[in-house]
Amino acid sequence: MKKLVLLGALALSVLSLPTFADEKPLKIGIEAAYPPFASKAPDGSIVGFDYDIGNALCAEMKVKCVWVEQEFDGLIPALKVRKIDAILSSMSITDDRKKSVDFTNKYYNTPARLVMKEGTVVSDNLSELKGKKIGVQRGSIHNRFAEEVLKPLGAEIKPYGSQNEIYLDVAAGRLDGTVADATLLQDGFLKTDSGKGFAFVGPQFTDEKYFGDGIGIAVRKGDKAELDKINAAIVAIRANGTYKQIEDKYFDFDIYGK
Partner 1 sequence: MIFDYNVIWEALPLYLGGLLTTLKLLALSLLFGLLAALPLGLMRVSKQPAVNMAAWLYTYVIRGTPMLVQLFLIYYGLAQFEAVRESFLWPWLSSATFCACLAFAINTSAYTAEIIAGSLKATPNGEIEAAKAMGMSRYKMYRRILLPSALRRALPQYSNEVIMMLQTTSLASIVTLIDITGAARTVNAQYYLPFEAYITAGVFYLCLTFILVRLFKQAEGRWLSYLAPRKH
Least CB distance from residue 113 to partner 1, whole Å?
21
Q: How far is the CB of 179 from partner 1 (least distance, A)?
A: 15
Can residue 152 be called a binding residue for partner 1 (CB under 8 A)?
Answer: no
* Strand ranges for the chain from DSSP E: 26-30, 39-40, 46-47, 65-69, 86-92, 101-108, 112-117, 133-137, 156-160, 177-181, 198-205, 215-220
Is residue 195 at the binding interface for partner 1, with CB under 8 A as the rule? no
- CB neighbour list of residue 43: distance below 8 Å, 6 or more residues apart: none
In angstroms, what CA-CA distances link 77 with 83, 153, 162, 217, 223?
9, 45, 31, 15, 16
143 near partner 1, rule: CB under 8 A = yes
Piece of 98-106, 118-126, 158-166, 176-184 that binds partner 1 (CB under 8 A): 158-166
How far apart are the C-alpha atoms of 61 and 16, rounded to whole Å? 23
Q: Which stretch binds partner 1 (CB under 8 A): 80-88, 119-127, 167-175, 248-256?
A: 167-175
Q: How far is the CB of 139 from partner 1 (least distance, A)?
A: 4
Is residue 139 part of the contact set for partner 1 (CB under 8 A)? Answer: yes
Collapsed DSSP state (helix, strand, coil) of residue 125: coil
x/- string (CB under 8 A) for partner 1, residues 47-66? --------------------
Cα(107)–Cα(129) distance, rounded to whole angstroms? 31
Near partner 1 in 69-98, by CB under 8 A: none
Amino acid in position 200: F
Are 89 and 75 in contact by the 8 Å Cβ rule? The answer is: yes
- Could you say which of 80, 130, 138, 196 contacts partner 1 (CB under 8 A)? 138
Interface with partner 1 (CB under 8 A), residue from 24, 64, 80, 174? 174
Phi, psi of 255 (to 5 degrees): -95, -15
Question: What is the smallest separation between the CB atom of 128 and partner 1, expressed in angstroms?
Answer: 21
Cβ closer to partner 1: 152 or 173? 173
In the chain, the amino acid numbered 54 is G
Shortest gap between Cβ of 151 and partner 1 (angstroms)? 12
30: left (phi over 0), alpha (psi -120 to 50) or beta: beta
Q: Which of 27, 40, 98, 158 binds partner 1 (CB under 8 A)?
A: 158
Contacting positions for partner 1 (CB under 8 A): 135, 138-139, 143-144, 147, 158-161, 165, 168-169, 172-174
